[in-house]
Amino acid sequence: MKGLRIIVLAKQVPDTRNVGKDAMKADGTVNRAVLPAIFNPEDLNALELALRVKDEIPDTTVTILTMGPGRAAEIIREGLYRGADGGVLLTDRAFAGSDTLATSYALSQAIKEMGEFDLIIAGRQAIDGDTAQVGPQVAEKLGLFQVTYVEEVLKVEKAKITVRRRLDNGVETVKAPLPLLLTVNSSAPDCRSRNAKLLMKYKHARTVTERQAATEDYLYLYDARPFLNIHEMTVNEIKSEAGQLGLAGSPTKVKRIENVILQAKDAKRLTAADKGINDLMKELIDSHVIG
Amino acid sequence: MNNIFVYCEVEEGVVADVSLELLTKGRSLANELKCQLEAVIVGANLKDVENQVIPYGVDVVHIVEDPRLAPYTTSPHAAVLIKLFQEEKPQIALMGATPIGRDLGPRVSSALHSGLTADCTSLEIGDHEDKKEGKIYKNLLYQIRPAFGGNIIAWIINPDCRPQMATVREGVMKKEILNAKYPGKVNRLEVSKYVSDTDFAVQVIERHLEKRKINIKGASIVVSGGYGVGSKENFKLLYELADVLGAEVGASRAAVDAGYTDHERQIGQTGITVRPKLYIACGISGQVQHRAGMEESAQIISINIDPEAPINALADYVITGDLSEIIPKMIKYYKQNTK
């Protein structure tokens, strides 16, 4: 069977699962500097799903597309070490402040520049927002069918794919035509680890910006080994309307943010003493929380 | 025009609780905005389905019925909503933050270029002043949700784009019948006007849905125990308290691993996520993984012998002491005060 051309959508996210006390600034905003930046967990599940298709159908190519700041190239390298064939970093100040809709617009315009594809696979959601919106929004913008909450590809046929979805209360087997967009759950298999050979092969993979900043004497490598070029795509390389990008292209605005951790510090403290517990139960009944 | 729309999920002829909860919330928002509440039901075998929703104060029920519309697949349901919203121009559109709502909502918002906020824990009406533009927006929907792994609460607004869309998880809003004889109208729509045959290209070929045995997710109060409960015997106290309060019993992974209770009660990242009105954490230290499954609870009581237990940082009430002494007192004073 002919190999599939797969694009994996991935995001570099701050690790919100291990948030320390200094993660929030006094003004209630997130102190991204102290949080480690990681490959969004469910995007790793998505990558694994793509690599498994590639294991089955050897001609398959897997290309990672990520939008983010320059340092997001790290997750493309991470993907290359695990078996991806290439990556595109979509990066530009014009994308700053994008909500999910503006993000999906930029990603879909970038995908249009990446040539033909059979499958787009994304993680169900990113841990810094948990919205699960970008996948379906990209599918709509590209006029693709979508299947969300996927945990396994069961069968690939000519122009068709069968997958299993994991829902809250059970599973569903779904058959869909290609090209198609899938989003993948954390219930899918974990991503394989780095491969030592691939690590050696791709450790000098760089975007053009990274190459300019590099002091190392590896520059000759990029002509000799074109696979070390991570494609950096800016707003100039996609067809876009300015009104659809970044803050201007984002219908949702954040009106206000409150820091949960600071808020919780005014907890009422009680002991096993009768009066306190009696007052607590009264208070909960009066506020209709219980009773 | 400019009404509030709720997309209602139906499984085997029964409207989902989360949809009824949203209708109740939608009704109160509609009253505040002095507009109508409309429901959209898309599916198969929908005979008399309107009777399940109208009592919640629904003015108009739009029904699209076709054997191919169940089980749910994205494109046909999205096609109905996109066209209907273009015709009716709702100001607000709500759906459940369920696997269906989270699949459908972004698709519709992308087509209509409208803002969507996922997993809201509260919805309010309020104004907004854009100081830069010198513009005042009246009666916007504040879409309030935890973000960033639950470390912040964000108030999201959609000043310019309509509909203002939001999804809400099951159990977050309260469901309440307004009037059993509410005079709602039914508007049956012809499927062929909204959905084309090519929209049915994705096929569900097999489904295995399990009925939930324990409804921890839907419980408005959860009494949950951790390793600190100490024994299976002590865990019975939690069941007693839950029984009195009409609550469900949950557990941390450590308590499940220790054999204090069943795996299906496990709350946390690898278990169930709950967002009850009240979460009573008994002897739970509060590892991140557990917190991920309960930190969006509206109110939290932590009962722990350790005054420095990490979960106390999340709690609204921290009771420091021995739970085998505290829980019986809670039962006693609850009974006294509700008499």
Nearest by CB: B245 against A276, A280, A290: A290
Give the pLDDT score at B269. Answer: 62
With helix as H, strand as E and coil as C, how does chain B read? CCCEEEEECEECCEECHHHHHHHHHHHHHHHHHCCCEEEEEEECCCCCCHHHHHHHCCCEEEEEECHHHCCCCHHHHHHHHHHHHHHHCCCEEEEECCCCHHHHHHHHHHHHCCCEEEEECEEEEEEEEECCCCEEEEEEEEEEEEECCCCEEEEEECCCCCCEEEEECCCCCCCCCCCCCCCCEEEEECHHHHCCHHHHCCEEEEEEECCCCCCCCCCCEEEEECHHHCCHHHHHHHHHHHHHHCCEEEECHHHHHCCCCCHHHEECCCCECCCCCEEEEECCCCCHHHHCCCCCCCEEEEEECCCCCHHHHCCCEEEECCHHHHHHHHHHHHHHHHC
Contact B338 A285 (CB under 8 A): yes
Give the pLDDT score at B224. Answer: 97
What band does B333 get if pLDDT is binned at 50, 70 and 90?
very high
Q: What is the mean pLDDT of chain B?
A: 92
**CB contact A25 to B (< 8 Å):** no
Residues 6+ apart with CB under 8 A from A186: A41, A42, A45, A124
- Is residue B251 a contact partner of residue B227, using CB atoms and an 8 Å limit? no
Could you check whether the bond before residue B71 is cis, i.e. omega within 30 degrees of 0? yes
**CB contact A159 to B (< 8 Å):** no
State how far the alpha carbon of B259 is from the alpha carbons of A221, B232, B233, B250, in Å.
58, 7, 11, 13
Give the pLDDT score at A20. Answer: 60
Could you check whether the bond before residue A179 is cis, i.e. omega within 30 degrees of 0? yes
CATH of domain B4-200: 3.40.50.620
Average confidence (pLDDT) over B282-290: 85
What ipTM was predicted for this assembly? Answer: 0.87
Q: What is the mean pLDDT of chain A?
A: 91
| Angle, CA B218 vertex, CA B75 and CA A173 arms, to 5° | 35
Question: Residues of A with CB below 8 A from B116's CB?
Answer: 100-101, 133, 252
Could you check whether the bond before residue B163 is cis, i.e. omega within 30 degrees of 0? yes
End-to-end CA distance of chain B: 48
Give the pLDDT score at A112. Answer: 98
State how far the alpha carbon of B143 is from the alpha carbons of A84, A134, A252, B67, B157, in Å.
38, 18, 10, 35, 6
Question: Residues of A with CB below 8 A from B99's CB?
Answer: 148-149, 165, 167-168
Please report, rounded to a whole number, the percentage of residues in chain A having pLDDT higher than 70: 92
Question: Residues of B with CB below 8 A from A255's CB?
Answer: 128, 142, 155-157
Joined tokens for residue B4: 């509030």
Nearest by CB: A176 against B113, B161, B201: B201
Please report, rounded to a whole number, the percentage of residues in chain B having pLDDT higher than 90: 75
Examine the pLDDT at B279 and tell me if it is beyond 60: yes
Q: pLDDT truncated to tens, each residue of chain A (291 aa)?
A: 899 999 999 999 988 766 665 666 665 556 777 788 999 999 999 999 999 999 999 999 999 999 999 999 999 999 999 999 999 999 999 999 999 999 999 999 999 999 999 999 999 999 888 889 999 999 999 999 999 999 999 999 999 999 999 987 789 999 999 999 999 998 899 999 999 999 999 999 999 999 887 766 677 788 889 999 999 999 999 999 999 999 999 999 999 887 755 445 578 899 999 999 999 999 999 888 887
Could you tell me where in chain B the CATH 3.40.50.620 domains are found?
4-200
Average confidence (pLDDT) over B327-338: 94
Joined tokens for residue A160: 């068709």
Joined tokens for residue B73: 């697949």
Examine the pLDDT at B213 and tell me if it is beyond 80: no
**CB contact A284 to B (< 8 Å):** yes
**CB contact B146 to A (< 8 Å):** yes
Minimum distance, in Å, between the CA of residue B185 and any CA atom of chain A: 32
Alpha-carbon distance of B244 to B238, in angstroms, equals 10
Contact A172 B151 (CB under 8 A): no
Nearest by CB: A16 against B110, B151, B206: B151
C-alpha A241, offset from chain centre = 24
B139: left (phi over 0), alpha (psi -120 to 50) or beta: left
**CB contact B103 to A (< 8 Å):** yes
Average confidence (pLDDT) over B89-97: 97
Give the pLDDT score at A54. Answer: 98
Question: Residues of B with CB below 8 A from A167's CB?
Answer: 99, 209
Nearest by CB: B316 against A16, A135, A268: A268
Most B CBs within 10 Å, among A13, A30, A255, to test the B interface? A255
Residues 6+ apart with CB under 8 A from B272: B216, B217, B250, B265, B266, B293
Q: Where are the domains of chain A?
A: 5-256
What band does B122 get if pLDDT is binned at 50, 70 and 90?
confident
Indicate the residue type of B186: V
Contact B109 A101 (CB under 8 A): yes
Q: Which residue, among B158, B118, B112, has the nearest Cα to A253 in the 3D structure?
A: B158
Could you tell me where in chain B the CATH 3.40.50.1220 domains are found?
221-338
**CB contact B288 to A (< 8 Å):** yes
Contact A30 B152 (CB under 8 A): yes
Per the model's pLDDT, the better-predicted residue between B273 and A89 turns out to be A89
Sign of CA dihedral B221, B227, B230, B231: positive
Give the pLDDT score at A130. Answer: 82
Please report, rounded to a whole number, the percentage of residues in chain B having pLDDT higher than 70: 97
Question: At how many degrees (to 10) do helices B323-338 and B232-245 cross?
Answer: 20
Give the pLDDT score at B147. Answer: 75
Joined tokens for residue A282: 């009264």
Sign of CA dihedral B134, B137, B138, B141: negative
Per the model's pLDDT, the better-predicted residue between A33 and B85 turns out to be B85
Give the pLDDT score at A15. Answer: 83
Contact A278 B153 (CB under 8 A): no
Contact A268 B317 (CB under 8 A): yes
What band does B216 get if pLDDT is binned at 50, 70 and 90?
confident
Nearest by CB: B314 against A264, A268, A276: A264
Average confidence (pLDDT) over B151-160: 87
Average confidence (pLDDT) over B240-261: 92
**Binding-face residues of B in 176-215 toward A, CB within 8 A:** 201-212
B221-338 folds as: Rossmann fold (3.40.50)
With helix as H, strand as E and coil as C, how does chain A read? CCCCEEEEEECEEECHHHCCHHHECCCCCECHHHCCEEECHHHHHHHHHHHHHHHHCCCCEEEEEEECCHHHHHHHHHHHHHCCCEEEEECCHHHCCCCHHHHHHHHHHHHHCCCCCCEEEEECCCCCCCCCCHHHHHHHHHCCEEEEEEEEEEEEECCEEEEEEEECCEEEEEEEECCEEEEECCCCCCCCCCCHHHHHHHCCCEEHHHHHHCCCCCCCHHHHCHHHEEEEECHHHCCCCHHHCCCCCCCCEEEEEEEHHHHHHHCEEECCCHHHHHHHHHHHHHCCCCC
Give the pLDDT score at A262. Answer: 42
**CB contact B336 to A (< 8 Å):** yes
Minimum distance, in Å, between the CA of residue A224 and any CA atom of chain B: 43
Give the pLDDT score at B212. Answer: 64
| Angle, CA B110 vertex, CA B45 and CA B62 arms, to 5° | 30
What band does B158 get if pLDDT is binned at 50, 70 and 90?
very high
Tens digit of each residue's pLDDT (9 = 90 or more) over A262-291:
445 578 899 999 999 999 999 999 888 887
Examine the pLDDT at B35 and tell me if it is beyond 60: yes
Nearest by CB: B160 against A140, A173, A251: A251
**CB contact B45 to A (< 8 Å):** no
Superfamily of domain A5-256: HUPs (3.40.50.620)
Joined tokens for residue A122: 């994304």
**CB contact B14 to A (< 8 Å):** no
Per the model's pLDDT, the better-predicted residue between B62 and B169 turns out to be B62
Most A CBs within 10 Å, among B98, B152, B161, to test the A interface? B152
- Is residue A86 a contact partner of residue A118, using CB atoms and an 8 Å limit? no
Alpha-carbon distance of B41 to B61, in angstroms, equals 7
Average confidence (pLDDT) over B74-92: 98
Give the pLDDT score at B196. Answer: 97
